[in-house]
Structure 1
Amino acid sequence: MSRVIHVFRQPERFVAGTVGEPGDRSFYLQAAEQARTISVLLEKQQVSVLAERIGALLQEVNRRFGQELPESQDGNPDTDPLAVPLEEEFRVGTMGLGWDAETRSIVVELLAVTEEEIDESVVLDDTDEGPDALRVFLSPPQAKAFAERAELVVSAGRAPCPLCAEPLDPAGHICVRLNGYHQRSPMTD
């Protein structure tokens, strides 16, 4: 079966979002352009890393190519929920990130999890062989807005334990800093 690459050259929306309650959330990235919407499932850590790397790439592009850094989206952030029905296209395994100087865009590529080892030449390439992919071209302001929202989505989970930084459940948790003694949650005090 040949590879499917979903390309969004001028997305109206590219956002991170979740489904479920803190502690039991599923993380999604969703791209929308015209009447087409694609959603992919990934891990919380992948969302966090992608947001961080986009910020770093924007800084590097500014330094090397003089591309102006976009302003923060404080005035008009996208806080809308993910579009429904939410149908997962695939689970993300490998992520790629790049700068397209021709279109002056950040390129995000998300590859499906696969059993086979992925040759890095498959990332950001249109070869017929390889895992399915979602490729999104983002203007620097869109990339900045994505990174800001992604950081908010990741941080909206459970509060960290003040001793060990592990997430607190409403009933508390077993804190490694207390040698396994039960730590009560400040939410129930």
Structure 2
Amino acid sequence: MTHQVHAFEPPERFVAGTVGPPGERTFFLQARGGGRVVSVALEKVQVSLLAEKLEELLSEANRRFGIKLPEPPAATTDNEPLDTPVDEEFRVGTLGLAFDVDTATVVIEAIAAGEAEAEIELAGAEAELAAEPDAVGEDAIDEEEPDPDLDRLRVRLTPEAAREFIDRARRVVAAGRPPCPLCGQPLDPAGHLCPRNNGYHR
């Protein structure tokens, strides 16, 4: 079966967002452009890690190539919900990052999970994200090219657009259930069994 590469270089909009109430949220990356909208599902930890590694990539590009770091986005940053309907194209197994020096843009690839990766995901393993310093300026997204038969979403962002993505992604991750002040685990509106409180509801 032929794999699909959903390329947006650049997208009109590229954001992280969620569907569902706190505690039951499904996380998505969504790209829009050229009359198309593509949504791919991923884990909360993958969104958080992507924002963190994007920040590191921008800093590394500034250090090595003098790329100007964008200012923090203004309060008018995109706060709109995901475009609907949100149809899951695939579930992300691997995320890849690279910085294209020639165009001074960040390239992000979200690659579908294979059968083995899907099992690992269900076991709660953290996402793999290639954003080592050696990847800066390389054509390849990953040193070890993932299975070419897997579907993927590829976006190319300016540093300014990457900064806006980072800001929104962090707000989306932080908008879940507040942590318990004793154990740090998410509080459940129906009641929280706190291990620091000998299992009693708080």
With the length of structure 1 as denominator, give the TM-score of the two structures. Answer: 0.89
Which sections of structure 1, spanning at least 5 residues, go unmatched? 185-189
SS, match of residue 57 in structure 1: helix
1:137 equivalent in alignment to 2:156 = yes
Matches of 1:25 and 1:53, distance apart in 2: 23
Aligned CA distance change for structure 1 residues 90 and 120 (closer, same or farther; 3 Å): farther
Secondary structure in 1 matching 2:178: coil
What whole-Å deviation, never above 9, does each CA across 1:41-97 have from its counterpart, x for those lacking one? 011111010011111111111111100000111232001111111111000011101
The AA in structure 1 aligned to 2:144 is S
SS in 2 for 1:134: strand
Distance in structure 1 (CA, Å) of the matches to 2:46 and 2:75: 27
Q: Partner residue of 1:121?
A: 144
Distance, in Å, in 1 between the alignment partners of 2:27 and 2:162 is: 18
Superposition RMSD in Å = 1.7
Which AA in structure 1 matches 2:196?
A: R
Code of the residue aligned with 2:184 in structure 1: it is A
- Counterpart amino acid of residue 92 in structure 1: V
SS state at 1:121 partner: coil
Which amino acid letter does the alignment assign opposite residue 165 of structure 1? G
Please tell me the residue identity of whatever aligns with 2:197. L
Report 1:75-94 matches (<5 A): 75-94=75-94
Amino acid in structure 2 at the alignment position of 1:122:
E
Counterpart position of 1:165: 184
Aligned length in residues: 179
Q: Which amino acid aligns with 1:173?
A: H
Counterpart contact for 1:51–1:147, Cα < 8 Å: yes
- Is 1:148 the counterpart of 2:167? The answer is yes
TM-score (norm 2): 0.84
Identity over aligned pairs, percent: 55
Unaligned stretches of 5+ residues in structure 2: 118-127, 129-141
Letter matched to residue 185 of structure 2: E
Q: C-alpha offsets along residues 9-52 of structure 1, whole Å, 9 cap, x if unaligned?
A: 11110001111100010111100112111100011111010011
Could you list the structure 1 runs, at least 4 aligned residues long, displaced by more than 4 angstroms after superposition: 116-120
| 2-structure distance, mates of 1:152, 1:75 | 12
Mark the CA change 1:116 to 1:158 in structure 2 (over 3 Å): closer, same or farther: closer
Give, in whole Å, the separation in 2 of the partners of 1:180 and 1:36: 49
How far apart, in 2, do the equivalents of 1:77 and 1:47 lie?
18
Tell me which moved more, 88-97 or 1-10: 1-10
Whether the aligned pair in 2 keeps the contact of 1:93 and 1:110 (CA below 8 Å) is: yes
